[in-house]
Amino acid sequence: MKLGDIIDIKHGFAFSGDHIIEEDNGVVLVTPGNFRIGGGFQEKKCKFFDGEIPQDYILNEGDFIVTMTDLSKTIDTLGYSALVPKSSSRMYLHNQRIGLVQFKNDSCDRGYIYWLMRTRGYQRTIANTSTGSTVHHTSPTKICDFEFNPPSHDVQRRIAEVLSRYDALIENYQRQIKLLEEAAQRLYKEWFVDLRFPGHQSTPIINNLPQSWQKKSVSMLGEYLNGFAFKPSDWQETGKPIIKIKEMGNGVTAETPRNNGDRVPEKYLIKAGDLLFSWSATLMVIVWTGEEGWLNQHLFKVTPAEGIGREFLLQSIANAIAEFSNLTTGSTMKHIQRNKLDQVFVNTPPPEIMEKYNNLAESIRTQIINKSVQIRNLSEARDRLLPKLMSGEA
């Protein structure tokens, strides 16, 4: 069969760039950045819209969408499918670079087709027929031309049910992580921005700062190691993964290059629990929860200074991202020069307050890390099972 025997793909609307904003107003303009490598929806890279909205281009919960454009060199998301998530606080808009999949008949199970369009074989076929050199494009015609041999309808349904159970568990853990992340952010803001820390009522304020507190630059809070300058010629198929900006957001995938470490100093090894800060492009800061890998340039591995907790340092950098954004250089890709870290200051408490905060905050972070590991294990198991189910091997 061809996909075109079963589906049509509706183009999105050309929303005005004058009304695309970064601030979260609850109206998400769905872009290729909302697609994970491997398929599925992600909300880490949302853009928002504050203009007039055509009613015919508002997406509904569960809508089946496909990405028609890919800016990556390896074309690693083009053609993948995703489902519009359920949300009580957000609206999702059908943008021009996104296709809405519409079923013409029920000759194949909807869930089976969704997972078919998350297989690597399908995605590579779409990538290999794409047009464009820097920005890669596909079309409804090329997607609809994809040929496949479906099993019986009952088998299709069972395949979709098995794989969807994995995704349901993953989404549940992701929701829990989001709540925990919000709790960690609130705790930091309450203690160190609003200065409502334990004992604040009886602590004198001197020069707008509680007694015994200090203003310290972000630079003073830790040691910042810039990554190793890997070249494309260093990319290998075996060895430890090379952790780049993309891996900070997506984790290690089948597309992640590797290196055996023959000429890489040991200091560039990243382990689970390390703090990573992208000083280029995304300005993202995370606690790494993936497998051991090599730190690439454009990322800092940040080691807390003596007396500074990991979670305090993480939240201090995250809370200062807006300030860092105003200090970046570069026109195409924004960068933070190392000396700019001296220009952003953080309210830093005495040791007893730091210890109390770290005990609470690290407890939250431990839960986040544990759930992140569970997500990674489930994702790996699902991705191993997907081609086996589709080929009839499992």
Provide the pLDDT for residue 337: 81
* Tokens coding 255: 């597309």
Number of H-type helices and E-type strands within the chain:
8, 23
CA–CA distance, 326 with 332 (Å, rounded to integer): 15
Q: From first to last of its 394 residues, what are the pLDDT tens digits of the chain?
A: 999 999 999 999 999 999 999 889 999 999 999 999 889 999 877 899 999 999 999 999 999 999 999 988 889 899 999 999 998 899 999 999 999 999 999 999 999 999 999 999 999 999 999 999 889 999 999 999 999 999 999 999 999 999 999 999 999 999 999 999 999 999 999 999 999 999 999 999 998 999 999 999 999 999 999 999 999 899 998 999 999 988 988 888 878 999 999 999 999 999 999 999 998 877 889 999 989 999 999 999 999 999 999 999 999 999 988 787 777 766 566 778 888 889 999 999 999 999 999 999 999 999 999 999 999 899 999 999 999 999 988 7
Q: Rounded to whole angstroms, what are the CA distances from 355 to 202, 215, 255, 301, 359?
A: 19, 18, 41, 23, 6
CA–CA distance, 336 with 346 (Å, rounded to integer): 17
Q: Which of 361, 345, 364 is nearest to 190 (CA)?
A: 361
Q: Domain 173-375 is in which class?
A: alpha beta
What are the residue ranges spanned by the domains of the chain? 3-150, 173-375
CATH 3.90.220.20 fits 3-150, yes or no: yes
Provide the pLDDT for residue 331: 59
Q: Do the beta carbons of residue 2 and residue 146 sit within 8 Å?
A: yes
Provide the pLDDT for residue 74: 83
Provide the pLDDT for residue 128: 94
Exposure pattern of 210-223 as b/e (b: 16+ CB <10 Å)? beebeeeebbebbe
CA–CA distance, 196 with 26 (Å, rounded to integer): 29
Provide the pLDDT for residue 323: 82
Q: Which of 236, 239, 255 is nearest to 247 (CA)?
A: 255
Provide the pLDDT for residue 325: 74
Provide the pLDDT for residue 333: 62
CATH topology agreement for domains 3-150 and 173-375: yes
Q: Which of 60, 51, 365, 338 is nearest to 188 (CA)?
A: 365
Q: What is the CA radius of gyration of the chain?
A: 23
Q: Rounded to whole angstroms, what are the CA distances from 304 to 39, 168, 185, 223, 369?
A: 35, 36, 18, 6, 18
Q: Which long-range contacts (CB under 8 A, 24 or more apart) does 148-154 make?
A: 148/1, 148/2, 148/3, 148/116, 148/122, 149/1, 150/1, 150/108, 150/112, 151/392, 153/108, 153/109
pTM for the structure as a whole: 0.85
Amino acid at residue number 284: M
Q: Do the beta carbons of residue 213 and residue 349 sit within 8 Å?
A: yes
Average pLDDT across the chain, whole number: 93
**3-state secondary structure string, 343-375?**
CCEEEECCHHHHHHHHHHHHHHHHHHHHHHHHH
Read off the pLDDT of residues 173-216 as tens digits, 9 standing for 90 and up.
Answer: 999 999 999 999 999 999 999 999 999 999 999 989 999 999 99
